[in-house]
Amino acid sequence: MPKTKTQWVCQNCGRTTLREMGKCPQCGEFNTMVEVMVAEPPKGLERRGLGVPASRPLKLSEIEGDANARLHLPIEEFARVLGGGIVPGSVVLVGGDPGIGKSTLLLQLAAVMAETSGPVLYVSGEESARQIKMRAQRLASGDGAGGTAPVSASLSDNLLLLNETNLDAIISNADSINPRLLIVDSIQTTYTGDITSAAGSVSQVRECAMRLTNVAKASGMAAFLIGHVTKEGTIAGPRVLEHIVDTVLYLEGDRYQSYRLLRGVKNRFGPTSEVGVFEMRGAGMIEVSNPSEAFLAERMVNSPGSAIAVTMEGTRPLLVEVQALTSPTVFGNPRRTGNGVDFNRLLLVTAVLTKRLGLKLFDQDVFVNIIGGLQVEEPAADLAVALAIASSVRDVPVPADTACVGEIGLSGELRAVGQLSARLKEAAKLGFRRVIIPRTVRRGEPLPDDIEIIQARSVREAVDVALKAVST
């Protein structure tokens, strides 16, 4: 039996130390160091690599396999995030808040893949097989959906369920079944007897993920791992877990809203920051093929404090409504509250409006909200936030057929943004007649002719153009 030694590992960044510490020396977080038992490295010939069979480097021409070979995934929004389908032998980590719909979405994935591609093994360490079957029957029947159920093959014979948390048993069943797809719900409940720590610890999560990755690479079986998240919203366990897998997906959304965003933050086989949009219903996750239209469906036209931003989520343009409300404060320090926008960007925009436009916001509470529970992080939404705040202060609405896009600098200038042509085409498709953009458009970028383009050099010009059309 190999000798073991004690180490302390940071749950936040994965830094290891030989002694117990209250503060991680790398990330600076307190109370994140946990004790783990690790095997000592071999000594003698094996340690120097003299007794280990050497691997032979291969020429690229000698390697078999098609680089474009993917398993077809009928869920188009899911396939978009993965880059066009499931790559055989890939390992995907799916994270999200509790109750956001991770298990539901992956059960739908297992159902459609069992019907189209072959055997699928769904391993659950948190729910019984009876609970999973009840969910599958509900998804197949479409209870509460008011329409066609998204899962028609939830009870397929190719979909196999396994209640197991022992990693050796999971791998043994996978070897005997040889599934095209393996789903583990969740990686934090899986353990291996080679490590003495409890399931969910740093060493257990890392070891189980590495062994499942090795099995997937060797057999060509694609694997999906569901991961718990911390209070900060990141994957629980060391960050090395995200480096082990090929793709990291986050299922986001407000639990009190019906829309869910499947966002890719790492993808070795496709673009990152791609987003798939779903709507949670009684029949499970329903694809939203035109999310911009869905997000603007309940918009109140010609209402002060509302502006339309054209954002990019990966390669997909999205039109979202930005709402702002200003009201006199009763305290000495006015509040700045943002929901769905970066707080620092909100402070920057309010400071520019106060300094460059002379808006009196020093005695006003400012509230900004992105409709639909979305999180907009790119600076291209700065102009929409500024127009919404100015519209609320002056109590003048932005025209209903006007959208805007642009980043705001500290001098009040508007800076160019990327993929402008795709943004304008999406706005024109949804019926918007004009778009306010920065004057500094990148050269050589073609712009559509079926929409009026208003170029503004500064945020002052943009506010004057947007609000003067209604006030006059």
Mind listing the pLDDT tens digit for each residue in 456-465?
Answer: 999 999 999 9
CB 81 within 8 A of CB 264: yes
For the stretch 152-184, pLDDT in tens is 444 678 999 999 999 999 999 999 999 999 999
Asked whether residue 404 is domain-assigned, the answer is: yes
| Number of structural domains found in the chain | 3
Asked if the model's pLDDT at residue 20 lies above 70, the reply is: yes
Burial (Cβ within 10 Å: 0-12, 13-18, ≥19) of residue 358? exposed
pLDDT 10s digits, 245-254: 999 999 988 7
Cα–Cα nearest to 103, from 255, 226, 249, 267: 226
Closest among 189, 154, 152, 147 to 170, alpha carbons compared: 189
> Is pLDDT of 82 > 50?
yes
**Residue that terminates a domain, selected from 264, 289, 314:** 289
pLDDT band at 201 (very low <50, low <70, confident <90, very high): confident
CA distance 159 to 162: 10
Same domain? 260 vs 354: no
CA-CA distance, 159 to 291, in Å (whole number)? Answer: 31
Q: What is the CA radius of gyration of the chain?
A: 26
Same domain for 298 and 209, yes or no, is: no
Can you give the pLDDT at residue 328? 93
CATH number at residue 457: 3.30.230.10
Same domain for 334 and 262, yes or no, is no
Is 65 within the bounds of a domain?
Answer: no
* Element spanning 202, H or E: helix 202-219
327 and 450, same domain (yes or no) = yes
pLDDT in tens, 297-356: 888 888 999 999 999 988 889 999 999 999 999 888 899 999 999 999 999 999 999 999
Contacts of 448 (CB under 8 A, 6+ apart): 421, 424, 425, 428
Token couple for 62: 């000698």
Reported as a pLDDT band with limits 50, 70 and 90, residue 442 is: low
H or E segment and range at residue 287: strand 284-287
Q: pLDDT confidence of 443, banded at 50, 70, 90?
A: low
| Claim to verify: residue 270 and residue 396 sit in the same structural domain | no
User: Is 286 a residue whose pLDDT tops 50?
Assistant: yes
316 and 261 in a common domain: no
pLDDT of 6 above 50: yes
Q: Which two tokens stand for residue 343?
A: 């707080």
Q: Is residue 317 located within the same domain as residue 235?
A: no
Residues 155 and 235 in one domain: yes
What is residue 386's DSSP assignment? H
pLDDT of residue 213: 95
pLDDT tens digit string along 117-130?
999 999 999 898 89
Question: Would the pLDDT of 225 be above 80?
Answer: yes
The overall average pLDDT reported for the chain is 86
Residue 221 belongs to a domain with what CATH number?
Answer: 3.40.50.300
Distance between CA 182 and CA 91 in Å, rounded? 9
DSSP state of 383: H
Pair (329, 265) in one structural domain = no
Instruction: Report the C-alpha gap between 58 and 65 in whole angstroms.
Output: 14
Q: What is the pLDDT of residue 234?
A: 67
Does residue 46 lie within any of the structural domains? no
Q: Which residue shows structure tokens 């499947």?
A: 262
Query: What is the reported pLDDT for 306?
Result: 96
Is residue 246 within 8 A of residue 92, CB to CB? The reply is yes
- Quick check: is 126 in a domain? yes
Rounded to two decimals, the pTM is 0.78
Residue 433 lies in a domain: yes
Q: Which of 327, 277, 308, 338 is nearest to 405 (CA)?
A: 308
Residue 467: band (very low, low, confident or very high) from pLDDT cuts 50, 70, 90 = very high
Q: Do 24 and 146 belong together in one domain?
A: no
Residue 63 located in a structural domain? no
223 inside domain: yes
**Tens digit of each residue's pLDDT (9 = 90 or more) over 30-76:** 888 888 777 665 554 444 444 555 677 888 787 776 656 899 999 99
CA distance 42 to 140: 53
Per the structure, the complete domain to which residue 410 belongs is given by: 293-471
The predicted model gives 404-416 an average pLDDT of 95
Please tell me whether residues 297 and 266 are part of one structural domain: no
- Would you say residue 392 lies in a domain? yes
> CA nearest 226: which of 98, 140, 327?
98
264 shares a domain with 325: no
Taking the C-alpha atoms of residue 341 and residue 393, their distance in angstroms, rounded to an integer, is 19
Q: How far apart are CA 364 and CA 395, in angstroms?
A: 14
